[in-house]
Structure 1
Amino acid sequence: MKMKLLALTLLWCGATLFAQDYFPDNEGVKSKNNNYTAFTNAKIYITPTQVVDQGTLLIQNGKVVQVGKSVAIPKNTVTIDLSGKSVYPSFIDVFSDFGISKPKRAEGSGRSPQYKPSREGFYWNDHIMPESNAISTFKFDDKKAKELRDAGFGVVNTHIQDGIARGTGVLLTLNGEGGDSQRIIDDRSAQYFSFSKSVASKQSYPTSLMGAMALLRQMYTDADWYAKGNVDTKDRSLEALNANMELPQIFAAGNNGNVLRADGIGDARGIQYSILGGGDEYEIIDAIKNTQAKLIIPLDFPDAYDVSDPNQASYVSLKDMRYWNQAPANPKILAENGVTFSFTLNGLKSPTKMMEKLQKAIAYGLSKSKALEALTTVPAQIIGKTDKVGSLQPGRYANFLITSGEIFDKGTTLYENWVQGSKNVVNTMDLIDIRGDYTMKTGNETFTISITGKPGKPRAKVTQDSSTYTSKIVYKDQWMNLSFSKDDALYRLTGLVKDKSKPLTGKLVLPNGNESSYVAMLSKPFDQNKKENTTSKKPEIVPITYPNIGYGYQSIPQSENTLFKNATVWTSEEAGILEQTDVLVKDGKIAKIGKNLNAGRAKVIDASGKHLTAGIIDEHSHLAALAINEAGQNSSAEVKMEDVIDPKDIDIYRNLAGGVTSLQLLHGSANPIGGRSALLKLKWGEIAQNMIYDNSPKFIKFALGENVKQSNWQSFSRFPQTRMGVEQVYMNYFQRAKEYAAKKKSGKPYRHDEEMETLVEILNGERFISCHSYVQSEINMLMKVADKFNFKVNTFTHILEGYKVADKMMEHGVGASTFSDWWAYKYEVKDAIPYNAAIMQSQGITVAINSDDAEMSRRLNQEAAKTMKYGGVSELEAWKMVTINPAKLLHIDDRVGSIKEGKDADLVLWSDNPLSIYAKAEKTLIEGATYFDLEKDQQQRKAITQERNKLIRMMLKEKEGGNKTQAPKNNKKEKFHCDSL
């Protein structure tokens, strides 16, 4: 039995040693130090929730041996009494670039074409680099390590922050004494991803967020294909990606919308990422919670804006003001909703700022326990190393902090940060605390010196009567140096502090240069609970709205049963325009249309003298998007506009105010074959996913003309450069799609290609084309290509020369979505005429009036009215061009576009004839929920003014308190058009 115990003891001791015993020892006679160190009588936070008072921490060979109240201390132990002090696990940052040099930006101007990777034997896209290993470029930086240790960190997980697939990270301790062989815990700690391209490559694709998302999806598909042995050539990138799938997967998202996007990509592959957030997760907390992802949250709360100049203050949006006010509450809201999160220094200019930000988060309601979890146990969970770091349980690395009190209190001093059992002094433990109020007499003058701040980093204020003088204090190694200026006369004091109970004494240099001595008597001891440790008044946080910008709602609109009484009803159906008619809305649908309907329990709206129509539908829009063009290649059929919906775009609200309820969010016209469309209902306040039509018809954007051949800017690196080249693009891609489809049908193994899959859907009649077009020759060309490959073009949009080929369009079966009277804005529209819509309609073509413009889209009722002037179109037929006709073109006319029983209650109540320039949308409903109300809009305008004034006053007070501010910024969103890049 004794032999067994001895063997186990020897085995355990060997496991705790860091030395690599197979190295020869040629340094002479030396013995290993196997002594223990015991830290006694301390308040020990073994974990954030397991705390021992008057406890003992026993360590040996850089690891925790035992911890608790009753710890047997071996004979060969150095004992350190920590009476009155606290011990915490050192902090961990899982999203760092410590020791990694920043990648060099690719030289030269411009971007190279997509299909020219710079590396042989790797993935075809340079921005996919899973083969990158941070360990290959890592170099320990002791200066930065000290900065991190001084901030309380003992472990960082670092990686190369460049590219979409970034490779693996390195988990290491910040032990400055050992070498990399000792400090590196794991040289393949996690696999990292982002939506950002590598700065080191000039390869053009992707140029957009949706392109990055499409690339990630294809990357994972290709990795599966490669893993099954279907590729003859070696791909080191895909091999690395597959090999790294066993590691923790970390995704750099950067804002709440991207958190959902990243999680969606992971869910599609059965991967649960840990995700770097942006600090704005509180805005959509329910959706964030549903991801079930562990988050990595930055603490870079914004500074208040300097709004002292009223003109400059007007530049700052209410959204940005709110973010300043609300962001510090983000950690508290995450914790309250059960979201697991860790903190990171990422985004902070200096580690020294971290504690200040943490204290702010705590002041906003975050518990100290959750704050400690976010710096210790949770990051250890994310990186899968809870058996090594994150707590002070036996067997873990001896990474711990010694403090004067509760670690997050303002008055607390961090004395030491032990890393792998090595002591790092931050502030000497025998430091004499000189804080307090002192009275100093010199000659005939008496000064009051108030010393506050932290014991190791005090602040001083010198006053005389009611005057305060500029002062500076430095306190190091028990020496105090203090200087202050009175009427440009400089006083300088220096002295060695020997005893806390005695006055401060030393040498005084007077303004005239004469030397004297001083005695500063303590008149009032320092009370850290008065100002330094507690906040008497809780911060005021303005309410979150949906979306969380100006004109957002206190809650998301809900469907109501409503009866509109005595309206003039524009049905957009054969029934035409009905006078003095009631419309009943029930459960989000149009339930009944008629006279003298019974309301039951429905809300009644008197619509006498008013006009009720179906909601306007914009067939061609670019609002509510974060990007419009994926311009990195001549076909981007793999990208989806659904990926880049911006639910916080203020133009959604403005369009609701113009009676618009649905739209097609189209890709731009940078490529002959563009991206896939998103069909949206403008549900203001919902997250992006909830705006998309359920069971949405599939659409894609094609384009012809000047934009796709790049004649409006100098670009000579991408095919096509001519209109005839555009035709060859279509011929080539559809031929490839036919061959791809044939291979799929053959039953043989095939590589799933997102781009080809989309084109096959067109060939099969499962996806519809909306084509940007102007010139009749190209319109003819695309119809001929479609005929050759046996599919139909669904819609020609813009189509300003449609009147020239209307008969051929009718024969092909294509619809038209055009402008009312735009012309002459570029060369290829020189033949445009305002009679275009009427002429095409006269030939039997389904014609819609669209906007392609965020401003025009909220006046589409007036744009439709122009067809009455230019072409003599009737009132009802003009109105159909912005309601049922675009619904037919989008294949949603069974749901929306007219007032018909059973259809969605997407309705607009107008103050006047909807084709009149005097008409205002008083109420706009989507599925029975009121998303715009003119009366409430007036109330919101007043509320916004009041809220802005409140936040401005709060920011002015912040500046008056001496806090740092930032210059006002005008963060207006760009309005996108077809050619926006």
Structure 2
Amino acid sequence: MRKVLLGFGYLYQINFNYMKRILSLMLLACFSLQAQEYFPNNDDISAVSHITRVIKNANIVTSPGKMITNGTIIIKNGKIEAIGNNVTIPKNAVVEDAGGNYIYPSFIEPYGDVAMKTPPRAPGSSVAQYDEGRKGYYWNDHIRAEQSAMNFYEYDEKEAQKFIDAGYGTLQTHLHDGIARGNGMLIALDNEGTNAERILKQESGNFFSLSKSRQSRQSYPTSLMGTLALLRQTHFDADWYANGHSKTKDLSLEALNAKKNLVQIIEAGNKKNVLRVDKLGDRVGKQFVIVGGEDSYEMIDDIKATNASLIVPINFPDAYDVSNPNLEWFVNLGDMREWKQAPGNLMMLSKAGITYAITTKDLKSPAELMKNLKRAIEYGLTEDQALAALTTTPASILQVSNMVGTLEKGKLANFIMTSDKLFEDDTVIYENWVKGSKHILKDRTTKDIDGDYTTTIGGTTYDLAIKGKGKKVTVKIDSTTLGSKITYDGDWINIVTTQKDAEDKAYTRFLATSENEQLTGTAYLTNGNEVRFTAVKAEETKDESKSKDEDKDESIAEMGTMTFPNIGYGSISKPQEETVLYRNATVWTNEEEGILENTDVLVKDGKISKIGKNLSAGSARVVDATGKHLTSGIVDEHSHIAIDNGVNEAGHNSTAEVTIEDVVDHEDINIYRDLAGGVTTSQLLHGSANPIGGRSAIIKLKWGYKADEMIYDNSPKFIKFALGENVKQSRYQYGVRFPQTRMGVEQVFEDYFSRAREYANSKGKSDFRYDEEMEVLLEILESERFVSCHSYVQSEINMLMKVAEKHGFRINTFTHILEGYKVADKMAEHGAGGSTFSDWWAYKYEVNDAIPYNGAIMHSQGVLTAFNSDDAEMSRRLNQEAAKAVKYGGVSEEEAWKFVTLNPAKLLHIDDRTGSIKKGKDADLVLWNTNPLSVTAKPEITMIDGIVFFELVRDLRFRESIKKERQQLVNEMILAKNKGMKTQTPKKKDKGLYECETIHW
């Protein structure tokens, strides 16, 4: 007998099921208190008892696609003793009847952080250098390979229960902190066991990421390219250290080497980073398991080509609330498509044959797992594929298939019992057994009481609707809905109601049991009376002609439009090379022939094939260019478009080890906009945060192609240097890094070139350490890499030319160079070119002496002169920038046009391929509606390598198709909201436009 609080009173009841449960818990408590078997035992000399448990009459799914009908499973010492149809049940075993319920292997979480204590965040602001308190470890504080999950382990039953409730039995966990994070551990999610029983492997995997440690304020790296460079150098150093060349001890590198035989797992994130970290792995000789790729469907062939296994989040985005048209335009087409297409990602991965496991990473709770998986199944993912991604595949990736993942003799008794097939809509997980310990999630003996009931008490009729597997109850008197709550206590059902708008709340309480489609019990009324009642369940109306399976919608959800790239203005198919004849154009050759009137140009096999009059078209597409102007494509010598996650690696005063080629963003809409402005080639430069910056990427703006296909093959090697206010941090509030003066800038160059020469002398020695930064600087000294230098003030321009000459090389290009007119003769003598702005001045102190005649004066003194953008908006109008050389300085139109075509091509050492219209050169061409130097000039066709990437008539079609597709997706999102699906508020997402000074900390 016990008392239960209901409303404002107590009720005494006897419930034998409850007593049985208490005895069971007491028994379990006794077992959990049992000391380990080898501990000294002074109290009990009896033998240790091991209970054998048997579950029979179950549909046992042993692995994806394999099921034992009416099977039996025997569990002993936390493992499966036997499994099958013809299994002999041992004497004295505790036997349970599954009653036809289903059993599946428990799920495996391959990328968790459960049971990890979060270390405190380092105090203070970012600093440039290594923490002196970490002597004996790697020079960069974000490399923490020595970390072991065991050192941060603290089992949290509450957090573990969330995974247990979702069906998980095993979880790989590690400290999610740092770029090199150390090893993880594999634990069993057993809230009934001890830590000794839970820990399956103390070292399960070696972890990396692209995110810095919260335990350090060291500023380097400040960019994605810096992070990738750091990971490369760390692995180079680990190999060097392993060969015994270091004179000092480094615990981080020792740990990295000691853990190299563990599974190597790196968190990448999006599809582009998946490709980037796989390329990193190739460089350092590792095949990473990559966490990320929830958008792999957009680059599925490229992801497959990596041969990497993935651990994929399934945090699908919610629909946007686009009911307000003013907010709708905050959402770009790419994000709308993501909502529509992301649930199809797993199907696409499976179809491509890519190995992947599923992680709950980024989900608000593991409870969201099944909802999202069912959405993926709607897109064509099979149930066996979904189960494999939760069980066999993570077990294989983590190299623990001998323990978990399937239900076989000798493996851990990790399984769930469900009411029906796992992925059915109404399926309930009743129990989750972990190492043979049963966790009851929902009592499977509880009757299904969902339905509509009616009862009359004291002349008042109550309508009760119970739904959601008994989780929710709605109570009405006539049409008035009462506040209500339902709870269970063994076989007893407790319902408490109150009138929602009543000033003095009074509660009606129902205490009942369920039998024969009725609720029978006692109602405790607001006046204090107790009345017996019976609530009768209404008969369900069913279409008997349809089976359960026929009621289900088996149609596969459509992913909708996919383009290259998969955002607005992408093409349905990848743009392909064409044979094209431009007929009767005004051709600006940039060669000795000058401007040719009424001339034809034939493009074939990606090259300029013929130039002349009345050329034969053959099977070529003919473009009537009468009255129009055909030019070579614009070459932007200095651009910062199409770069991901930071244009500056600002953590050190020299970052020659980083390269923009690592972070080219092939989806940047500015690529398409530049094509619409006639640009075909851009040099993507590192910013100007430090004297020696990073290496550049020279790309063709091949919209719809991946990053590696944009970068020039056999690309000339360039690096960015910088002078002036930015590098000495005169305008940075917290600038603490050397140098702080212009004379300090000079010393940086002297120091690093001296180091590079010493490095060259060490090559060939037995203890030689490969240093990517020094390798790049050595390329400069050996004139294998060209320098493009951010510059303004004549004194510093002079200084750098002298430093270069002292060390035996030349500065290739001074960019910006707004005081170039003062030293043009010296630049010409040195052999340096100038890539300048047409008419910028006075936007900061060191450009107060800038004049718009700068370009014309440098050109007149024999300096190879170009105009650049340094700005995503200006790069779309470089044709008009070129025209300013005619206005300011009287440069001829032909020569002015070369400022944005042939001259920058020469500065980039690609003029043998582009920059002019000449037979045999790449077909990088632009057809303008009028003279390209006119403010009314617009490109009608922009072609690269004989492929049309922009066409004005196509652009108009794009705009119409985008409008139509947006409206369709808006309709679908509004419908989703009306169906009660969760939505998110539209927010404007701006990537932002990089310029020289942009720094991401």
On whether the aligned pair clears a TM of 0.5, the verdict is yes
Change in Cα spacing, 1:670 to 1:302, as seen in structure 2 (3 Å) is same
Tell me if structure 1 keeps the 8 A contact 2:600–2:611: yes
CA–CA separation in structure 1 for the residues paired with 2:808 and 2:797: 16
Matched with 1:333 is 348
Correspondences of 1:639-658 after superposition (within 5 Å): 639-658=658-677
Gaps of 5+ in 2: 1-33
Change in Cα spacing, 1:532 to 1:301, as seen in structure 2 (3 Å) is farther
Change in Cα spacing, 1:541 to 1:479, as seen in structure 2 (3 Å) is farther
Cα displacement string for residues 363-420 of structure 1 (whole angstroms, at most 9, x for unaligned residues): 2221111111111111111110000011111111000101111112221111111110
Matched with 1:39 is 55
Tell me if structure 1 keeps the 8 A contact 2:511–2:522: no
Matched with 1:480 is 493
- Within the alignment, does 1:165 sit opposite 2:180 as a pair? yes
Q: Paired residue for 1:105, among 108, 118, 121?
A: 121
Change in Cα spacing, 1:466 to 1:906, as seen in structure 2 (3 Å) is farther
CA–CA separation in structure 2 for the residues paired with 1:282 and 1:740: 45
- Within the alignment, does 1:452 sit opposite 2:471 as a pair? no
Matched with 2:968 is 950
Measure how far apart 1:168 and its partner are: 0.4
Task: Name the SS of the counterpart of 2:422 in structure 1.
Answer: coil
Change in Cα spacing, 1:761 to 1:73, as seen in structure 2 (3 Å) is same
Q: Paired residue for 2:607, among 575, 578, 589?
A: 589
CA–CA separation in structure 1 for the residues paired with 2:208 and 2:788: 34
Matched pairs, number: 960
Correspondences of 1:137-156 after superposition (within 5 Å): 137-156=152-171
Measure how far apart 1:68 and its partner are: 1.7
Cα displacement string for residues 593-630 of structure 1 (whole angstroms, at most 9, x for unaligned residues): 11111122111111111111111110000000111000
Q: Paired residue for 1:699, among 718, 727, 730?
A: 718
Q: CA RMSD in A?
A: 2.2
Percent identity of equivalent pairs: 56
CA–CA separation in structure 2 for the residues paired with 1:793 and 1:432: 83
- Within the alignment, does 1:59 sit opposite 2:67 as a pair? no
Matched with 1:23 is 39
- Within the alignment, does 1:881 sit opposite 2:894 as a pair? no
- Within the alignment, does 1:257 sit opposite 2:298 as a pair? no
- Within the alignment, does 1:895 sit opposite 2:916 as a pair? no
Change in Cα spacing, 1:509 to 1:546, as seen in structure 2 (3 Å) is farther
Measure how far apart 1:497 and its partner are: 5.2
Tell me if structure 2 keeps the 8 A contact 1:469–1:484: yes
Change in Cα spacing, 1:127 to 1:79, as seen in structure 2 (3 Å) is same
CA–CA separation in structure 1 for the residues paired with 2:277 and 2:330: 32
CA–CA separation in structure 1 for the residues paired with 2:214 and 2:231: 18
Change in Cα spacing, 1:44 to 1:846, as seen in structure 2 (3 Å) is same
Matched with 2:299 is 284
Q: Which amino acid aligns with 1:896?
A: T
CA–CA separation in structure 1 for the residues paired with 2:547 and 2:676: 53
- Within the alignment, does 1:409 sit opposite 2:428 as a pair? no
- Within the alignment, does 1:663 sit opposite 2:679 as a pair? no
Tell me if structure 1 keeps the 8 A contact 2:496–2:510: no
Q: Paired residue for 1:730, among 749, 752, 756?
A: 749
Matched with 1:189 is 204
Q: Which amino acid aligns with 1:931?
A: F
Q: Which amino acid aligns with 2:861?
A: Q
Change in Cα spacing, 1:589 to 1:449, as seen in structure 2 (3 Å) is farther
Task: Name the SS of the counterpart of 1:828 in structure 2.
Answer: helix
Tell me if structure 2 keeps the 8 A contact 1:169–1:188: yes
Task: Name the SS of the counterpart of 1:423 in structure 2.
Answer: strand
Task: Name the SS of the counterpart of 2:438 in structure 1.
Answer: coil
Measure how far apart 1:256 and its partner are: 1.0
Q: Paired residue for 1:688, among 680, 692, 707?
A: 707
Matched with 2:85 is 69
Measure how far apart 1:137 and its partner are: 1.4
Measure how far apart 1:224 and its partner are: 0.7
Task: Name the SS of the counterpart of 2:539 in structure 1.
Answer: strand
CA–CA separation in structure 2 for the residues paired with 1:494 and 1:544: 57
- Within the alignment, does 1:795 sit opposite 2:842 as a pair? no
Measure how far apart 1:444 and its partner are: 5.9
Measure how far apart 1:115 and its partner are: 4.1
Matched with 1:575 is 593
Gaps of 5+ in 1: 1-17
Task: Name the SS of the counterpart of 1:632 in structure 2.
Answer: coil
> Which stretch of the first structure deviates more once superposed, 118-127 or 671-680?
118-127
Q: Which amino acid aligns with 1:803?
A: Y
Tell me if structure 2 keeps the 8 A contact 1:662–1:679: yes
CA–CA separation in structure 1 for the residues paired with 2:568 and 2:985: 21
CA–CA separation in structure 2 for the residues paired with 1:537 and 1:515: 53
- Within the alignment, does 1:199 sit opposite 2:214 as a pair? yes
Task: Name the SS of the counterpart of 1:245 in structure 2.
Answer: coil
- Within the alignment, does 1:925 sit opposite 2:938 as a pair? no
Measure how far apart 1:502 and its partner are: 3.5
Task: Name the SS of the counterpart of 1:118 in structure 2.
Answer: helix
Matched with 1:221 is 236
Q: Which amino acid aligns with 2:155?
A: F
Measure how far apart 1:464 and its partner are: 7.9
CA–CA separation in structure 1 for the residues paired with 2:556 and 2:787: 56
- Within the alignment, does 1:429 sit opposite 2:444 as a pair? yes
> Which stretch of the first structure deviates more once superposed, 439-448 or 933-942?
439-448
Measure how far apart 1:852 and its partner are: 0.2
Matched with 1:15 is none
Q: Which amino acid aligns with 1:332?
A: M
Measure how far apart 1:312 and its partner are: 2.1
- Within the alignment, does 1:809 sit opposite 2:827 as a pair? yes
Measure how far apart 1:473 and its partner are: 4.1
Q: Which amino acid aligns with 2:616?
A: N
Tell me if structure 2 keeps the 8 A contact 1:173–1:185: yes
Matched with 1:548 is 566
Matched with 1:357 is 372
Correspondences of 1:591-606 after superposition (within 5 Å): 591-606=609-624
Change in Cα spacing, 1:27 to 1:974, as seen in structure 2 (3 Å) is farther
Q: Which amino acid aligns with 2:493?
A: M
Task: Name the SS of the counterpart of 1:831 in structure 2.
Answer: coil
Matched with 2:319 is 304
Matched with 1:14 is none
> Which stretch of the first structure deviates more once superposed, 555-564 or 303-312?
303-312
Measure how far apart 1:516 and its partner are: 4.9
> Which stretch of the first structure deviates more once superposed, 434-443 or 867-876?
434-443
Change in Cα spacing, 1:351 to 1:637, as seen in structure 2 (3 Å) is same
Correspondences of 1:792-941 after superposition (within 5 Å): 792-941=810-959
CA–CA separation in structure 1 for the residues paired with 2:886 and 2:568: 37
CA–CA separation in structure 2 for the residues paired with 1:843 and 1:559: 41
Q: Which amino acid aligns with 2:274?
A: V
CA–CA separation in structure 1 for the residues paired with 2:537 and 2:442: 23
Measure how far apart 1:820 and its partner are: 0.5
Measure how far apart 1:774 and its partner are: 0.5
> Which stretch of the first structure deviates more once superposed, 535-544 or 188-197?
535-544
> Which stretch of the first structure deviates more once superposed, 239-248 or 473-482?
473-482
Correspondences of 1:552-567 after superposition (within 5 Å): 552-567=570-585
Tell me if structure 2 keeps the 8 A contact 1:483–1:491: no
CA–CA separation in structure 2 for the residues paired with 1:933 and 1:518: 78
Tell me if structure 1 keeps the 8 A contact 2:270–2:295: yes
- Within the alignment, does 1:678 sit opposite 2:697 as a pair? yes
Matched with 1:82 is 98
Tell me if structure 2 keeps the 8 A contact 1:190–1:250: yes
Q: Paired residue for 2:64, among 23, 48, 51?
A: 48
Task: Name the SS of the counterpart of 2:276 in structure 1.
Answer: helix
- Within the alignment, does 1:317 sit opposite 2:332 as a pair? yes
Q: Which amino acid aligns with 2:347?
A: K
Tell me if structure 2 keeps the 8 A contact 1:475–1:481: yes
Tell me if structure 1 keeps the 8 A contact 2:432–2:440: yes
Matched with 2:256 is 241
Tell me if structure 1 keeps the 8 A contact 2:378–2:555: no
> Which stretch of the first structure deviates more once superposed, 98-107 or 649-658?
98-107
Task: Name the SS of the counterpart of 1:947 in structure 2.
Answer: helix
Tell me if structure 2 keeps the 8 A contact 1:117–1:125: no
